[in-house]
Amino acid sequence: MNKNKEQLLNKRYKAEKRFRLYGQSAIFMALLFLTIFIFKIFSTGYSAFQKTWLIVPVNFDAELMMLDENPTKQDIEDADYYEIALQSMWNLDPNANEDQQNQLKRMVSYFFEREIKQELLKDPNLLGKTKEVYLTASDDLDQVFKGNYPRDLPEDQRRVSDYQLKIFDQLVANGKVESKFNISFFTNADSREAELAGIASSFMGSIFSILVCLMIAFPVAVLAAIYLEEFAPKNRFTDFIEVNINNLAAVPSIVFGLLGLGVLLAIFQLPRSTPLVGGITLSLMTLPTIIIAARASLKAVPPSIREAALAMGASRMQTTMHHTVPLSMPGTLSGTIIGLAQALGETAPLILIGMVAFVNTIPGSPMDPAASLPVQIYIWAESAERGFVEKVSACIMVLLGFLIIMNLFAQIIRHKFEKKWN
Amino acid sequence: MIKIKAKDVDVFYGKKQALFNISLDIEENQVTALIGPSGCGKSTFLRCLNRMNDVIDICSVKGEILINDFNINDKSCDVVRLREKIGMVFQKPNPFPKTLYENVSYGPTIHGMAQSKQEMDEIVETSLKKAALWEEVKDRLHEPGTGLSGGQQQRLCIARAISVRPEVILMDEPCSALDPIATAQIEELIDELKKEHTIIIVTHSMAQAARVSQNTGFFHLGQLIEHGSTDKIFKNPDNTKTQDYITGRFG
């Protein structure tokens, strides 16, 4: 009898030990996947924050630029920079033939004449003199410099020629290639050229969409939640509404995209590809999330507080507005932020309403066409150029950073402002 | 003088009847205790007196409850004004999660009882003094009320209830969550408060009923079995059920 009891006890301890082990290995697996994912993203993406520059001497030859003596600022603005830009690239190899000259030109971005122009606008005294100017390297050379380019492939299978590599290696040997922080990744709009493409357009698009979404979804959802929780009678009809709100939260997001396409664009004729339409579509999606969060946090306010206020002679409206709603706000707000974070990462509905269009301008208002960060990831992931690979990861990093900050904020609100009941 | 007159009050939760035909008179400026085993309907009856049962959707109340000869179950009765006249203290201390000052000034604020900050300060001070809490908290009026001890919180709730000078104070087992010392303080306070207010207290403790009340009503299974002066109920009850309950044979 006694021995049996001992055995049983041992068995129970062992079962607990086993269970702990299962739990620990589950957590270990989850962390492992997360680490692999983050490592992959970071290791491909970090190089996108660096940009390769060629330092090329440029002769600001007034004659080639069709400038008279003592030009005004406007003259400098209107001058022709293409010739001197071409000349400075050709000068890298004075003996180049026509084909090689063409290849030399393609070693920098098509932005090169504008970069040279900026230099002269900054300092008009350079006219007639020679100065070394930083020119954006082409995306392929950028990859070569970062060591991501398969140089040992046969020449006819790569976009960089042996000749270009030879010149580039010479420049590297002379210290005329430099890597600097890639500001243009944050300030440029999208571009077909990987070395010039940036996230400014999609970033602003995302911000505008989220703002529109917040301004529509938050007030509607909070009012709906307060009414349902505090005022509505409990009957079949309100039960029906509640079930439908929960169903709405489970509807796949692409369906909301179709709704946006069919109703907002087709019937109301709102401008296509704009954050306005994107925001409205996302707000439909966020609405049930916020309603559910707000109702949960209203429910969490102890009934004793409502009773206390009512017994003091407060009306139902006063009880709700003075006590219940303020006490539920932390939970509501953090639910809202989590809903917005979901909306920020949403891709499918935005593709349907046309925010997938190629936009190379930075939107100034929700009425301008724009992309959004997740859609930008999708667009770049579809592009063939090698230079976009790191951009995809970098864009994911920016998006993830944003989501982490938002979720952190939600946590802080929850912990800091939530009242403790004794 | 009779302050509250209940006539044939029936209460239903959905189809289930919780109170049967309750008729009870409550004397002004006295303490009336309602006693009885759990689930006998004494709290339900108490909540009828300030219409707190309105909050429960499925609850319906029938019969007449006359306060100052006015039927509060009448359609013309305004619950907000009714609850201004009839304060309530709950079983578990439930101060608002706000400062002490805001807790006490809430009632006077929503009923517009103070014209100036000074007047409000006075109301808060007298209410806290009457609730015998002033000396303990006068230096921390702007700290959260939830930071007080249980007994202090309950006295804060009493201060909050009397801040609007109600004619009647309903107390629903106000000491059940408190230790004996805090209970003694509250009981002393009840004795003091009955000079200005009519008090009805629901209690589980027969000793407490005997100590604080002048009148007692005994409830059992939704019926008012017996009521009368506390002395009579405890020493010489008419009904054998009352006798059994008082002597601890059931309940």
Amino acid making up residue A31: L
Of A126-135, B21-30, B152-161, the poorest mean pLDDT is in A126-135
**Residue B86 forms beta bridges with which residues?**
B168
Nearest to B204 by CA among B229, B175, B184, B238: B175
Give the mean pLDDT of A170-193: 90
State both tokens at A114.
Answer: 């504008």
Q: Over range B76-102, report the average pLDDT.
A: 92
Is residue B13 pLDDT above 80, yes or no? Answer: yes
pLDDT at residue A286 in the model: 94
Cα(B244)–Cα(B246) distance, integer angstroms = 6
Report the domain count for chain B: 1
Whole-number percent of chain A with pLDDT over 90: 55
Chain position carrying tokens 């940036």: A198
A222 to chain B, closest Cα gap in Å: 22
- Looking at residue A419, what is its pLDDT? 63
Q: Is B248 exposed, middle or buried (0-12, 13-18, 19+ CB in 10 A)?
A: exposed
Q: Is there a domain that residue B251 lies in?
A: no
- Give the model's confidence band at A120: pLDDT under 50 very low, under 70 low, under 90 confident, else very high: confident
With 60 as the cut, is the pLDDT of residue A421 above it? no
pLDDT recorded at residue B2: 87
Residue window 295-324, chain A: list those with CB within 8 Å of chain B.
302, 304-315, 318, 322-323
For A351-403, write each residue's pLDDT tens digit. Answer: 998 888 888 888 888 899 998 999 999 999 998 888 899 999 999 999 999 99
Contact across the interface for B94 and A314, Cβ inside 8 Å: no
In angstroms, the separation between the Cα of residue B163 and the nearest Cα of chain A is 9
Q: State how far the Cα of A340 lies from the Cα of A410, in Å rounded to an integer.
A: 11
Any idea what the CATH number is for the domain that residue B240 is in? 3.40.50.300
Mean predicted confidence (pLDDT) in A111-137: 87
Tokens at B25, concatenated:
């008179």
Is A302 in Cβ contact with B83 (below 8 Å)?
A: no
User: Looking at this predicted complex, what is its ipTM?
Assistant: 0.91
Nearest CA in chain A to B49: A311
Among the partner residues B57, B92, B164, nearest to A313 by beta-carbon distance: B164
Q: Which residues constitute the domain of residue B12? A: 2-246
pLDDT at A295: 95
The counts of H helices and E strands in chain B are 10, 10
Cα–Cα distance measured from residue B217 to residue B214, given in angstroms and rounded to the nearest whole number? 10
Whether A246 contacts chain B with CB within 8 A: no
The CATH T-level fold of domain A200-417 is: MetI-like fold (1.10.3720)
* pLDDT beyond 70 at A185: yes
With beta carbons under 8 A apart, name residues in chain B contacting A306: 55
Q: Mean pLDDT score of chain B, rounded to an integer?
A: 91
Does residue B181 sit within a domain?
yes
pLDDT score recorded for residue B75: 86
Q: Kindly state the average pLDDT of the residues A302-307.
A: 92
| pLDDT reported for residue A420 | 59
More confident residue, A63 or A402: A402
pLDDT at A96: 86
Say if residues A26 and A34 touch (Cβ distance below 8 Å).
no
Half-sphere exposure of residue B10, counting CA atoms within 13 Å on the CB side?
A: 8
Rounded to an integer, the average pLDDT of A174-191 is 90
Strand pairing class (B215-220; B223-229) = antiparallel
Residues in chain A closer than 8 A to B107 (CB atoms): 312-313
Domain ranges of chain A: 51-180, 200-417
* Average pLDDT value over all residues in chain A: 90
Q: Tens digits of per-residue pLDDT, A13-41?
A: 999 999 999 999 999 999 999 999 999 99
pLDDT classification of A422: cutoffs 50, 70, 90: very low
